[in-house]
A and B are shown apart, each in its own frame.
Chain A
Amino acid sequence: MAHSQSDEPTRRDFLYVATAAVGSLGAAATLIPLIDQMNPSADVLALASIEIDLAPIQLGQSVVFTWRSHPLFVRRRTPEEIAEAKAVKVEDLLDPVARNASLPDNAPATDENRTKPREGAAKPEWLVTVGVCTHLGCTPEASTARSRQGDYGGWLCHCHGSQYDLAGRVRVGPAPRNLDVPTFTYLSDTRIRVG
């Protein structure tokens, strides 16, 4: 301080530091609502779950629904497709983790873990995944009986070339993760609730 040559802090030094500290805390506190207002609002959060009727979906068909403003893939796999998906070794996968919201984070990406609902046993015929490419969020295109997309029979993302197999697992990058499997529950044999 200009008025004092002593090393001992003065009362005025204390006041300066205290004022600056309280002032910056106050300024930081006002930032909280300004930043938090950009997070999802209550009405957006309320759109949490949907119910899907599986009966109209044909064998080998992949149908796109909308869930939490994202596409949701529901695929009814043929016995050959199930066999192909089950034959894949977890060690060969780019992402060896199941990415199933109903399972622990480290569950291996076996076909069973990819089709597992929140409760009860997996039904290998049904694959439910979020239809958002884990690279930059495009919607991958599903293989059909007429046109195979990519080399693994599942999905191909046209944006940047990522490929997914018949269990929605990433096989060719740049996508870093398997397609996410949301929590879902079988309400009956032909009805599920997602979310």
Chain B
Amino acid sequence: MSFTHELIKLVQQDRVGKYLLSSLLAVSIMVPVLNLLVPESSSLHVSTYVVTLLGKYLCYALLAIALDLVWGYGGILSLGHGVFFALGGYAMGMYLMRQVGDRGVYGNPELPDFMVFLDWQELPWYWLGFDQFWFSALMIILVPGLLAFIFGWLAFRSRVTGVYLSIITQALTFAFMLAFFRNEMGFGGNNGLTDFKDILGFDIQHGGTRNVLFVVSALALAVGYLLCRYIVNSKFGRVVVAIRDAEDRTRFIGYKVESYKLWLFVISAMMAGIAGALYVPQVGIINPGEFSPLNSIELVVWVAVGGRGTLYGAIVGALLVNFAKTFFTGALPEVWLFALGGLFVVVTLFLPQGLVGLYQQTREKYLARRAV
């Protein structure tokens, strides 16, 4: 009872959040309806390709708010958040690989194709349990969370901050990429995990499954947003912002700064893991490229473009930049990287608060002028 009450209060206080959540709800009803019920001949029909594409964007948006939580609020600029996204993705990929069963090219009921190809005789120990969905779901959250805990514990306790921390996170994701590229690691080497068949018994290629995955992604984004909103509205959130603005002061009034940073980082990593897990069945592949430092930097650009420290800014940024990416890589592939770089420069120089900040400033100016 008190939980629902809290939730309602949380949404009521959040002016922009209300619009965000209701449009998310509208989209998650409209898109499947337009895809499944409207005939293909109609101009209103949304193709399954678009449904999957939108689902992918929503996963990116969830990843973006996870980063905004640590960067926008905690002031911890992680340039390696992709590592948590990719680990969540790999955990899901391992589950999907085990679901293939004997339908692989080599028809081995126990071993995934790449292991047969490498002439392995049995499943490595770390693959055990991934045939169970509940176990995989647990790992999707725990593995990124544990890595964030160990990394954060070491880094924050040693008081590594600022650009040094950013560089280490970058190195972390790079190290994971190199490790996962190796065949003997047992994660499919540079081909990664692919050729999935079904998820929880449903055909992964089927339009209905695609729509369900899309709706689940929208739901995950909504829950993730509310969780983040709860965190930043709580006193925990105020302490975290205080640490960002005056770390020493926070320490001298009696807060154990390291613990606050650590738990913020862990929560964020878990959310990134979930985003990765929802992403993989929709794109149908996970490979070490997801660990690439470039991905993590792109993620930072989304949040910067949208506006950090607002949560919805991160969502706006992730959706807009990825939409632009899809458009440019289709229409003018050679221009995209220049456009992305240019965008980052423009935002850093002229829009320190991102697009959301620009909107807020314009709105304030308009209101002020009307008041006169």
A and B physically associate: no
Which residues of A are interface residues toward B (Cβ below 8 A)? none
Which residues of B are interface residues toward A (Cβ below 8 A)? none
